[in-house]
Amino acid sequence: MPLLVVAVCPLSMLLMMRAMGSMGSCKTKDDTTGANADELAQLRAEVAGLRAERQSPSEATR
């Protein structure tokens, strides 16, 4: 009986981890590909804008 009490915590943790892992795999790649591509395009545009901002002041001081 004491062994059962000690084993309950790790076993329940394993079951919860398994359940959480299967919840994350419910999404399909098709559902998220478009959103990821849009976000990537926005981030690339933001990086390009920041690089342009960064170069502009240094060119003005020359």
In the prediction, which pLDDT does 22 show? Answer: 79
In the prediction, which pLDDT does 20 show? Answer: 87
Domain of 19? 2-60
In the prediction, which pLDDT does 29 show? Answer: 56
In the prediction, which pLDDT does 31 show? Answer: 58
DSSP per-residue codes, 4-60: HHHHHHHHHHHHHHHHHHHHHTTS-HHHHHHHHHHHHHHHHHHHHHHHHHHHHHHHH
Per-residue pLDDT tens over the stretch 3-40: 888 888 889 999 999 988 877 666 555 556 677 888 99
How many angstroms from the chain centroid is the CA of residue 16? Answer: 21
How many angstroms from the chain centroid is the CA of residue 27? Answer: 13
| Both structure tokens of 12 | 């329940």
Query: For the chain, what is the domain count?
Result: 1
